[in-house]
Amino acid sequence: MSILHRLLLFLRFGSLLAASSDESLVHRFNDGDDDDTPLPLVIWHGLGDAYNADGMRLVGELAEKAHPGTLVYPIRMDEYGPRDRYDSFIGNLTEHIAKACADIAAHPILSTAPAIDALGFSQGGQFLRAYVERCNKPPVRSLVTFGSQHNGIIRFGDCDTSDFICKIAMGLIHGSPWGSVQSTLVPAQYFRDPEQYEDYLKYSNFLADINNEREVKNATYKENIKKLESFVMYMFEEDEKVIPKETSWFEEVNGTEHTPLRARKLYTEDWLGLRELDRKGGLKFRTAPGAHMAISDELLMEVFDSFFGPLNRQRGRSEPRPGLGGDDEL
């Protein structure tokens, strides 16, 4: 890859381009039904990661390889990488989601696109779903999540030995999940233990709201989820970091009892629009081999090819390639 091409990739990857470039891309989006410009792709990283980490840059390069010309925007809470990583542990998710909404709406290219695609890694997946439900301007066409905690966590797996921020955060959750941590500690805001369900409904700052679990439902959340073309949820087959791993598919796990999404009231009463999305073929359950966030380039390219790209492309294949896993008939 030439130095010039690498520089162009860097500029596309989350930078604000010059006004002349903005106008050029806006005109391309408005050229008509034959426009082959790929929709912008927004990515939200997971716990303990940063928007400008090497892995995130590699994902951006793969998106560019799959659909040349893709503008990739990694969501961040701070331009300084170490601070962005810190903010993945510490902060109020209501404020985080509001900032992401405001940043996307103010971006000179994202704000003029007819739609965007969204890719969420781990906790970034439910955060992007919150963007769809609460903002969705510009609207998301396809939302793909990997190992996300859509139905919350009972606990996280062990932190790395040297990751003291993670250890402190997990200790606080285990100590008192319903106190001040609900506005300061990120993982606590998607903690959901079925044995503490009433406390969860009363005190949860984030997940109980975006899952529309409280008595008064937010109709906008349902309407926005229904508008998605595709909502693709990947669960890692050997995930030991997210507990329970089935949360990636909205599955309810209470001890040894498992209730799949389609048997839950959240689905049967359609609190979020997932049932209607499912009936039109837009809700997809997929598995990924390996441990949490062990994603191969091949699998990412399959996702980019099937669900992202130009606005007026043919809808992605409904079945994954052999060997990559997946089962939409659950």
Active site residue 122: yes
**Cα 233 → chain centroid:** 9
Residue 5, strand partner residues: none
38 dihedral zone (left: phi>0; alpha: psi -120 to 50; beta): beta
Query: Looking at 49, 117, 239, 278, which residue is catalytic?
Result: 239
Active site residue 239: yes
Q: Which residue has the tokens 């598919």?
A: 249
| Token couple for 315 | 């809808």
Query: Looking at 84, 87, 122, 150, which residue is catalytic?
Result: 122
Instruction: Tell me which residue of 42, 44, 91 sits closest to 206, measured CA to CA.
Output: 91
The burial class, CB within 10 Å (0-12 / 13-18 / 19+), for 266 is buried
Radius of gyration (C-alpha) of the chain in whole angstroms: 19
Q: For residues 16-52, b (16+ Cβ closer than 10 Å) or e, as one string?
A: ebeeeebeebeeebeeeeeeebbbbbbbbbbbbbbbb
Sheet of 140-146, strand order: 72-74, 41-44, 116-121, 140-146, 230-236, 283-288
Q: Distance between the two ends of the chain, CA-based, in angstroms?
A: 43
Report the alpha-carbon distance of residue 4 to residue 156 in Å, rounded. Answer: 42
Element housing 132 (H / E): helix 123-134
| Token couple for 200 | 């969860």
**CA-based diameter of the chain, in Å?**
58
Report the alpha-carbon distance of residue 85 to residue 148 in Å, rounded. Answer: 17
CA distances, 95 to each of 87, 98, 106, 176, 184 (Å)? 11, 5, 16, 22, 10
Query: Looking at 45, 96, 107, 292, which residue is catalytic?
Result: 292
* Positions marked catalytic: 122, 239, 292
